[in-house]
Amino acid sequence: MTTILDELSAYADDLLNTRDVPDYPTALNGLQFQASGPVRGIAAAVDFSTRAIEGAKALDANLLIVHHGMFWGGLSPLTGAAYRRTRLLFDYNIAVYSSHIPLDCHPTLGNNVLLAKELRLTPSREFARYQGIYIGVAGDSDVPTKSLAEKATLFARQYGHATRTTPIADDRRTRRWGMCSGAGAAADTLQEAIDAGIDTLIVGEGPHWTAITAEENDLVIIYAGHYATETLGVCALSQHLADKCGVSWNFVSAPTGL
C-alpha cells in the first residue's frame, strides 16, 4: 500500500464509505489538511487540538487522524487559537484526516462495534437512526446491569472519565441493550430505545433530562464518556492504515474530561 497521502486518504474514504454516510456539515469528513511528502507515521486522536498536534509531532508522525476535525466548532476566522493550531500544522508539516459518523457506524472499525466488544456484548441489530442510516448497534444479553456498568467504568477510567449511570437496582438484568457513542442520548435515540424495548442504553453523554426520561421508562442509561467512547475508532483506523502502508502509529491521549 502506498504512503502517498492523497492515495492513502482516498483509500480511507472508500474503506469508510465516506461519500455515502450523512453527517453534520462541520464534520467535513476526509482529508482536511494537506502536508508534503510521504506518510511516515500516523497519530490517532479523538479531537483536533493543540495537544493532538504536539502529540503527533512528539511521535514524529506526519498524519493526524481525528474523529472531531478541524472545523468541528463551526465557521470561524483563523485568528487566535485557530490561527495558532493551523500555524503548527504548517510548521510541523502534519496532515489531518478526519472521520466522524463514518467511523461511528463502520462494521469493523466503528466506535460502536468496538465498544460493544470491549464490554463483551454481541451486536445483532442496528440502532440509532440518523438521516437514513444507523450510527449505533443493539443486541440481546442476560447480564446484571451493575456488572455491565462496572465494565463500562473500567473501560472509561483508562481515558480519564468517571462513568455515570441512572439508578440501577441490585437485581436488575440487561436483556436488551442499545449503544450510541459520543452524544448518544439525544431525544430521537432515546425514543428509539424506548420504542424498541431496550432496557439499557450505553452512550457517551447526554443532557440531564435524559436521566429522568430513562428512569420513567424503566431504562438505565450508562454515560461512559464522550471522549472515552470515541477513542476506539480512530485507533482501529490508524492501525489498519499503518499496517497497510508499513508505518508506525500511536494514540495521542488528550482527554477532555467529558
Can you give the binding site for Zn ion, defined by CB under 5 A? 182
Measured distance CA(43)–CA(41) in Å, rounded: 7
Least Å distance between CB 79 and Zn ion?
25
Which of 219, 96, 118 minimizes the C-alpha distance to 165? 219
Helical segments of the chain, H only: 5-15, 50-58, 80-92, 101-105, 111-118, 145-157, 187-195, 209-215, 232-245
Least Å distance between CB 230 and Zn ion?
5
Question: Of 182 and 225, which has the nearer Cβ to Zn ion?
Answer: 182
Question: Of 94 and 101, which has the nearer Cβ to Zn ion?
Answer: 101
Largest alpha-carbon pair distance within the chain?
Answer: 58
Least Å distance between CB 57 and Zn ion?
24
Measured distance CA(176)–CA(193) in Å, rounded: 10
| Segment holding 137, helix H or strand E | strand 133-144
User: Which amino acid, residue 96?
Assistant: V
CB neighbour class for 239 (10 Å; exposed up to 12, middle 13-18, buried from 19): middle
Question: Of 136 and 182, which has the nearer Cβ to Zn ion?
Answer: 182
Least Å distance between CB 143 and Zn ion?
26
Question: Of 41 and 182, which has the nearer Cβ to Zn ion?
Answer: 182
Question: Of 26 and 217, which has the nearer Cβ to Zn ion?
Answer: 26
Least Å distance between CB 11 and Zn ion?
24
Cβ-closest position to Zn ion:
182
Least Å distance between CB 46 and Zn ion?
8
Measured distance CA(158)–CA(152) in Å, rounded: 10
Question: Of 178 and 182, which has the nearer Cβ to Zn ion?
Answer: 182
Residue 80's alpha-carbon distances to 26, 68, 72, 96, in angstroms, are 19, 19, 16, 20
